[in-house]
Chains A and B, each alone.
Chain A
Amino acid sequence: MDIYTETILDHYQHPHHTGALNDATVSATEHNPLCGDVIKLDLKIKNNVVEKIGFVGNGCAISQASISLLCDAVEGKKISSLKKLKPKDIYDLLGVTISPGRIKCALLGLSALQKALKLTKN
């Protein structure tokens, strides 16, 4: 039941892919009105592949770790495969059981990614 595993704490305290991209081809912002968490995701997409990804935001350990893990998983991937990402994939990346109250935190990054992918012309 301890969700504060080494992986989650490590990604929370030292997140990967932080910072905006100045050569982003698409961006999306997602916001959790319950806790005020906001994240902005920048993607550089070339030939239907995510070449680079960066995020700016703040939030709880779960939301930040999940975005950091997601960014690791997304870079270098094809858009077509990213469009298939499901909440379950995020829970697997996190490796802990997410209680109902924290689902929105865990999926904040995924919603931003899905928003950005929708905006990409394909």
Chain B
Amino acid sequence: MQQIKKDFPIFKRTINGKPLVYLDNASTTQKPIVMLKVLENFYFTSNANIHRGIYTLSEEATDKYEAVRKKAAKFIGARTEEEIIFTKNTTEAINCVRVSWGEKNIKKGDEIVVSSLEHHANLVPWQELAKSKQAALKIIPLTNDYTLDAEAYKKLLSPKTKLVCLTVESNVTGTIVPVKQMTALAHAVGAKVMIDGAQSVGHIPTDVHNLNCDFFAFSAHKMLGPTGVGVLYVKQSLMEEMAPFMYGGEMVESVKATSATYRSGPWKFEAGTPNIAGVIAFGAAIDYLSNIGFKKIMAHEQELLAYAKKMLAKYPQVKIFSPSQKHAGGIISFAISGVHPHDIATIFNNEGIAIRSGLHCAEPLMNYLGVYGTARMSFYIYNTKKDIDTAEKALKKVLKTFKL
């Protein structure tokens, strides 16, 4: 793993005269040169629209685009590529479920259950849906160890529950949620399950078939792919009854002056010209990750997480928000009493280190944690222990500046 930084051209950069140390991977990851080459080559040599032209370029582009649908399906354990809808990101994928499934299936008096670890992307759409349908939104509380309260979850479930929305991994605490067991419990009361895989797909293996969830969303840009590409997996048995998400070209079968019929399968949900180059380049990111393999990726992140936790724990002024369970992802949030997270991030930036600070699009979670925000380090394949040593130097500067 030591050589991996070389595959990422951005690490040639310096920030404030220091080599870039990038510890904000939960926001978005950096991009390997192999992926960037595919992106560039598409525009240089193969650019054409898909599903339209009866000419070589368009046929090539269509084949490449559709090949990534297959690749993505295989990567997350979908049974067929017809379960894979391309969107622009996780947020759009979740909103597609809200519109195409939720509008029809959530009714007055129904209940939607969401966890307190959710990113706004898997919370706010359900707040809105609940409000417009006069349904109730129920929140699974946290334990003192930053995990979800399993007993409380069971008590929230009832025949009224129509949808359960869970993240696989928290973007704040790194908590890994036992989504498989929780999905089975939801299904037992007849609810559907929406899983947010934004933080997990590039970090731990995904098998949607085994997980048996109904919907699963993630973003390419958080797993070495380009921005502007997301995936929504929908269980095949549910897709047919779902309404289109948007209307227009590409998603239609035949159009008369005053009415139209729509394609079936994922194509029904992909109106207009999609991010063709982005999707094709995403295929290269999947290949790159597959070549490394999750065994190595997970071992590496676990090693960095343990090292970072140990480093932070040396400083009694630092409060760490990370579950004690062995299986947490490579994300660690912390706070220092008397120093605002923004000031921590500014001083880290002076040392060339990018960390996230603030609310992490998880405002309710901040309230549960009882803080105004946290500073967060999140790791990926190219990070090293040396990066964490650099972070320790910056941390010492924070404490010195604020005389703590």
The reply to whether A61 and B16 contact each other, CB–CB distance below 8 Å, is no
Residue from B16, B359, B401, B402 within 8 A of A35 (CB atoms): B359
Residue of B with least CB distance to A105: B342
With the chains together, A13 CA to B403 CA distance in Å?
10
Within 8 A of A (CB), among B325-347: 338-343, 346-347
User: A1-9, A43-51, A114-122: which lies at the B interface?
Assistant: A1-9
A36 touches B359 (CB 8 A): yes
Select from chain A the residue with minimum beta-carbon distance to B367: A36
Q: How far is the CB of B354 from chain A (nearest CB, A)?
A: 12
Contact of B346 (CB < 8 Å), options: A9, A13, A37, A102: A102
Residues of B near A2 (CB, < 8 A) are: 350
Among A1, A3, A9, A59, contact of B340 (Cβ-Cβ < 8 Å): A59
A13 / chain B contacts, CB cutoff of 8 Å: 338, 402
Residue pair A60, B342 in contact (C-beta under 8 Å): yes
A9 partner, pick from B359, B366, B401, beta carbons under 8 A: B401
- In the assembled complex, the Cα of A59 lies from the Cα of B371 at a distance in Å of 11
| Complex: A21 Cα to B350 Cα, angstroms | 39
| B338: A residues at CB distance < 8 A | 13
A residues 30-77 in Cβ contact with B at 8 Å: 34-37, 58-62
Contact with B along A1-32 (1 / 0, CB 8 A): 11110000100010000000000000000000
Report the Cα distance A105→B341, complex, angstroms.
13
Q: Are A35 and B346 in contact (CB under 8 A)?
A: no
In contact, A58 and B401 (Cβ under 8 angstroms) = no
Given contacts A1-B16, A4-B401, contact A36 B373 (CB under 8 A): yes
B342 touches A1 (CB 8 A): no
Instruction: Please name the residue on chain B nearest to A35 by beta carbon.
Output: B358
Cα–Cα, bound, A102→B349 (Å)? 13
Q: Which residues of chain A have C-beta atoms less than 8 A from B372's C-beta?
A: 35-37, 58-59
Q: Is the CB of A9 within 8 A of B402?
A: yes
A60 in contact with B350 (CB, 8 Å): no
- Residue among B338, B341, B342, B372 with the highest chain A CB neighbour number at 10 A: B342
| Closest chain A residue to B398, Cβ basis | A4
Inter-chain contacts of A58 with B (CB < 8 A): 340, 372
With both chains docked as a complex, state the minimum distance between the C-beta of A15 and any C-beta of chain B, in angstroms: 13
**In the complex, what distance in Å separates the CA atom of A36 from the CA atom of B370?**
13
**Interface contact B341-A35, CB-CB below 8 Å:** yes
* Contacting residues, chain B, for A62 (C-beta < 8 A): 342-343
Report the separation of the CA atoms of residues A61 and B350 in the bound assembly, to the nearest whole angstrom: 16
> What residues of B have a CB within 8 angstroms of the CB of A34 in the complex?
358-359
B387 within 8 A of A: no
Report how far A62 CA is from B372 CA in the complex, Å: 15
Is B363 positioned at the interface, with any CB of A under 8 Å from its CB?
yes
Query: When the two chains form their complex, are residues A35 and B366 in contact, meaning their CB atoms are under 8 A apart?
Result: no
Contact B350 A1 (CB under 8 A): yes
Tell me if B357 is interfacial: C-beta within 8 Å of chain A: yes
**Cα distance, A2 to B350, chains bound together (Å):** 9
- Are B363 and A36 neighbours in the complex by a CB distance under 8 Å? yes
Chain A residues, CB < 8 A from B340: 35, 58-61
The 4 A-B residue pairs whose C-beta atoms are closest, nearest first, are: A60-B340, A60-B342, A35-B358, A4-B401
Which residue numbers of B lie inside 8 Å of A, CB to CB?
Answer: 16, 338-343, 346-347, 350, 357-359, 363, 366, 372-373, 401-403
- Can you name 24 A-B residue pairings with CB atoms under 8 Å? A2-B350, A4-B343, A4-B402, A9-B401, A9-B402, A9-B403, A34-B358, A34-B359, A35-B342, A35-B357, A36-B358, A36-B359, A36-B372, A36-B373, A37-B372, A58-B372, A59-B340, A60-B340, A60-B343, A61-B339, A61-B340, A62-B343, A102-B346, A105-B342
Q: Known A-B contacts: A4-B402, A59-B372. Give 13 more (CB < 8 A).
A: A1-B350, A3-B346, A4-B347, A9-B402, A34-B359, A36-B358, A36-B373, A37-B372, A59-B340, A60-B342, A61-B339, A62-B343, A105-B342
